[in-house]
Amino acid sequence: MVTNTSFYKFIKNRVTFEYLLNCSYHCRMKLKTRNYSIEKLQAVARILKTIAHPVKLEILQALEAEEPLDVSTICKRINSHCEISMMSHHLAKMKDNGLLKSEKRGKQVFYQIADRHLLKIFDCMETCDLI
């Protein structure tokens, strides 16, 4: 005969066991053996270091929506209050590291994203449990 207490323990243990199996499965799915070359790791570190500023991420968002844009238009589109001189500095750094391309039209310089795969960083930000 099964008492209420033993039945409760059975259900509790069963649920715990199923939870552990499920968790173990998901943990194995997330764990992958990665073996990137040092060159690739250095390139990724350079990219992450370059965009590791809120204004630079806002620049990418603005250029994602519409490109090419000139410096003054980017300044107007982003939420951060950034002077044109500082914006030019950010854009030059991003261009020097290969994240942006530029085209000069008269006195204005227009910027666009060099490789749109870079925008996947926003997908990572949305799904990351750390943020």
Q: Which residue range forms the structural domain that includes residue 61?
A: 38-127
pLDDT at 7: 47
Claim to verify: residue 26 and residue 78 sit in the same structural domain? no
CA 24 to chain centroid, in Å, comes to: 27
Angle, CA of 37, 41 and 45, to the nearest 5°: 170
Cβ-contact 53, 59 below 8 angstroms: no
Claim to verify: residue 47 and residue 105 sit in the same structural domain? yes
- Asked whether the CA dihedral 94, 96, 97, 98 is positive or negative, the reply is positive
Radius of gyration of the chain (CA): 24
pLDDT at 86: 92
42-67 residue pLDDT tens? 999 999 999 999 999 999 999 999 99
| Bond from prior residue into 54 cis (ω within 30 degrees of 0) | no
CATH of the domain at 79: 1.10.10.10
Cβ-contact 65, 122 below 8 angstroms: no
pLDDT at 28: 53
With cut-offs at 50, 70 and 90, classify the pLDDT of residue 11: very low
What distance in Å separates the CA atoms of residue 68 and residue 121, rounded to the nearest whole number? Answer: 20
Claim to verify: residue 26 and residue 42 sit in the same structural domain? no
Q: Is the pTM of this model over 0.85?
A: no
The total of structural domains in the chain comes to 2
Question: In angstroms, what CA-CA distances link 69 with 20, 40, 87, 88?
Answer: 51, 30, 12, 12
Claim to verify: residue 104 and residue 62 sit in the same structural domain? yes
